[in-house]
Amino acid sequence: MSQPNYLRDVVGSWHTIVMFGLLGLVLALIVSFVQPLRYSSTARLLILQDVGTSIDAYTASRAEERIADNLSTIVYTSTFFDQVMGAGFDIDPSIFPDDASKTRKVWSNMVKATVARGSGLLSVTAYHSDIDQAEQIVRAISFVLTERVGEYTSGGAVSARLVDEPLNSRWPVKPNVLVNILSGFILGGFVGIGFVILQTERIRRRHQLVHEEF
């Protein structure tokens, strides 16, 4: 018996693959809209270290980048969260559960800290269904970083300066519905391809058994 031509079978069953893709798209839409829509607020801070003239500019820049990296990790800790909540900003405490481990998970999903490569520029973003709460959270984070950065760093005089005030999104940014739809369609299409190949192989083996019996 000749070897199966899977490519021909897949192309010939394109309608089945598209059907699976559309099914994946629908499931992605359902999952997307089950989740609460969240806005974002983003601020940027410049991390500076006063090292005098002891080292060159490149080394100083790399040192500031490493400090910013460390701070981007600190943002997710329980200690930092407690300082943010105690900073005096209008953050609704009811959005966080009483259990410490659950609070840490909610906080980690609510904030994001990233560093621009080759610089000490730290971006902090807060996500919330209420844009005002997102802004209050990111302002509190920026305040703690600028006022208490020395508690999280060692060696040299380090400062954090707010260089970009919080910028709020006009539309919800999470979940990313367009990305989810595209991902759902592609994944559904791959499932459809797998289904077509399995069906083709099943029919081929059935015919093979029939030929062997005769």
Q: Which of 148, 100, 144, 151 is nearest to 126 (CA)?
A: 144
Which CATH number does the domain housing residue 108 bear?
3.30.70.1130
Q: Identify whether residues 25 and 61 lie together within a single domain.
A: no
Q: Identify whether residues 108 and 72 lie together within a single domain.
A: yes
| pLDDT the model gives residue 51 | 63
Token pair belonging to 29: 């839409």
Q: Identify whether residues 114 and 189 lie together within a single domain.
A: no
**3-state SS assignment for residue 121:** strand
Q: Quick one: CA torsion of 198, 201, 203, 205, rounded to 10 degrees? A: -140
| pLDDT the model gives residue 162 | 95
Q: Identify whether residues 16 and 111 lie together within a single domain.
A: no
> How far, in Å, CA of 24 to CA of 10, rounded?
18
137-173 residue pLDDT tens: 999 999 999 999 888 887 568 889 999 999 999 988 8
66-70-74 Cα angle (round to 5) = 165
| pLDDT the model gives residue 54 | 61
Range of the domain at 126: 39-168
Tally of domains within the chain:
2
Contact 18, 189 (CB under 8 A): yes
| pLDDT the model gives residue 107 | 96
- Place 76 in a pLDDT band, splitting at 50, 70 and 90: very high
Q: Across residues 79-105, what is the average pLDDT? A: 93
6-62 residue pLDDT tens: 677 777 788 888 898 889 888 887 877 777 889 999 999 999 887 665 666 667 677
Q: Identify whether residues 204 and 102 lie together within a single domain.
A: no
Q: Which of 178, 73, 84, 82 is nearest to 138 (CA)?
A: 84
| pLDDT the model gives residue 108 | 94
Strand residue runs (E) in the chain: 39-50, 111-115, 121-128, 157-168
Residue 173 lies in a domain: no
Q: Is the pLDDT of residue 214 over 90?
A: no
Residue 143 lies in a domain: yes
Q: Identify whether residues 85 and 16 lie together within a single domain.
A: no
| pLDDT the model gives residue 160 | 92
